[in-house]
Structure 1
């Protein structure tokens, strides 16, 4: 199976995927920037579940590549193209782009195209309170961090004494201000 065949169902081109992966890898910290001492390496190898030598540049680069490509694949798998989102929302693609520009929908770029995470949709609409949530987002929040936040149960959001996720809280009619308050403390999350 080729990369083109893997990406085709998601509406992402090979060039777009490679460009995004290249940017992610270039942004990764240099493996030689912070070397571990021999004692630290030994401790990690003995107790950290690391099977290859910690200081091995090849294994560090391979792990970085694996992590970046895995993250990019997850972002692609858990998102829609503008056209797919337009079909779901039963609107024109230009209306989707307009909503993204107005921060009524959340999108990130892969290559030259926008991707819209599926967590923000429910049936044929966006989840209640989405615009207020998006207005409160930190500018540097990674799409996977945001997805993790939206799907992780929080003690600050309870239904029948059970913690629930921000997404489920909003879908259940919960007060969006509570979710916005959680976002204000996201760095402690």
Structure 2
């Protein structure tokens, strides 16, 4: 399994050993999820009845069912592994590391504190600068959303953003010179009911 995992990680461009990646997954799993319990136990009898009438299945996962939280744990591990340190971000865009910390403080970059300091999601950067229009986009993003939710939004094709005849991610849109205001408007709806 280790060789297969290392092959997959290399193909994905992740510079991490299989053991390091598995450690990241284990850490993400511990932070993100609690042991699977009976979902119905979280609700009163009348709430369970109402949810059942609405068509929700509150039964625990069967032994042969894949836990839907597994994808989130893997995505969190990849987000963490690909994130840049303050020094890496500073080197990438050619500024002093103190400028990166100021940008985080000013809301012009997003990141989270982790073991060893700040981690900045890689989607915010091009090869040698910050993503074009990033400051405008960040003004529209809800600040109560986790880094993984924001990363998924920025890297997933959106029907409202097209280049040619295909939907593209907000990141691709901005790299191609698309309107940052349009992305900020879409971002403002993250976390709101459809």
The Cα shift of 1:41 comes to 3.3
Quick one: distance in 1 between partners of 2:162 and 2:79? 28
Q: Would the alpha carbon gap of residues 131 and 148 (structure 1) be closer, same or farther in structure 2, given more than 3 Å must change?
A: same
Structure 1 gap segments, 5+ residues each? 2-7, 10-16, 55-59
Does the 8 Å CA contact 1:120/1:126 hold for their aligned counterparts?
Answer: yes
Report the TM-score, using the length of structure 1 for normalisation.
0.67
> What does 1:48-63 align with in structure 2 at a 5 Å threshold?
50-51=63-64
Q: For 1:18-41, what per-residue CA distance to the aligned partner results, in whole angstroms no more than 9, with x for missing partners?
A: xx759825x75883563399x853
- 2:151 aligned with 1:147, yes or no? yes
2:106 corresponds to which of 98, 102, 108:
102
Backbone CA RMSD of aligned residues = 3.6
Relative CO higher for 1 or 2, CA cutoff 8 Å, sep ≥ 6?
1
Q: Which residue of 1 aligns with 2:31?
A: 24
The Cα shift of 1:153 comes to 0.8
Q: Which residue of 1 aligns with 2:80?
A: 76
Does the 8 Å CA contact 1:154/1:164 hold for their aligned counterparts?
Answer: yes
Q: Which residue of 1 aligns with 2:5?
A: none
> What does 1:1-189 align with in structure 2 at a 5 Å threshold?
24=31, 28=34, 31=37, 34-35=40-41, 41=59, 45=62, 50-51=63-64, 70-111=74-115, 113-186=117-190, 187-188=192-193
Q: For 1:78-110, what per-residue CA distance to the aligned partner results, in whole angstroms no more than 9, with x for missing partners?
A: 201111111111211111111111122121121
Does the 8 Å CA contact 2:84/2:121 hold for their aligned counterparts?
Answer: yes
Equivalent pairs counted in the alignment come to: 161
Report the TM-score, using the length of structure 2 for normalisation.
0.66
Q: Would the alpha carbon gap of residues 83 and 183 (structure 1) be closer, same or farther in structure 2, given more than 3 Å must change?
A: same
2:40 is paired with a residue of what secondary structure? coil
Quick one: distance in 2 between partners of 1:75 and 1:179? 21
Moved more, 164-173 or 68-77: 68-77
Quick one: distance in 1 between partners of 2:35 and 2:147? 19
